[in-house]
Amino acid sequence: MQTTSRMTPRANPLPFSHLDDAVAAAIRASRIDADLTQRQVAARLPWDVSVYIKRDAGRRRITVPQFILIAYALDRSPTDLLSRVLLEYSCHSSRTYLKIVLAEYRWPQAGRIRGSWPDSIPNE
């Protein structure tokens, strides 16, 4: 008798990552740049308006096929939108890394490096 193997889910999977946030931010920024409302973009897609709104707001993960459809709905090429995602992600990663480093070195008591540090770190 053959048994089927099941993949066990992770105990505490992270539902969204910084990359997911970057995808949603890039889509939202591209929609705003195109001067489109969420409803206008959703009308171009094969989903209900609420489904697109959740993806635009970053409350639902976006798959690669969905990403491609959204890019075309925004009148952008998927590669153009992907480059915007990577830019958003690198900016977020840099800010996060800076906050970790500054927290580790007990900001603001850490010495200023050639006067290049800001007086405060803005919240995200």
In this prediction, residue 18 carries a pLDDT of 76
In this prediction, residue 85 carries a pLDDT of 87
Is the dihedral angle over the CA atoms 75, 79, 85, 88 positive or is it negative?
negative
Please name the residue that has the structure tokens 């997911």.
20
Closest CA to 101 of 89, 117, 85, 79: 117
Question: How does pLDDT run along the chain (124 residues), one tens digit per residue?
Answer: 555 545 444 443 444 577 888 899 999 999 999 999 999 999 999 989 999 999 988 888 899 999 999 999 999 999 999 988 888 777 766 666 555 555 555 545 444 444 444 555 555 4
Q: What is the pTM of this model?
A: 0.62
Q: Which domains does the chain have, with CATH numbers?
A: 18-104 (1.10.260.40)
CA distance 38 to 18: 22
H or E element that contains 60: none
Contacts of 16 (CB under 8 A, 6+ apart): 58, 61
Please name the residue that has the structure tokens 């959204």.
70
CA distance 23 to 60: 11
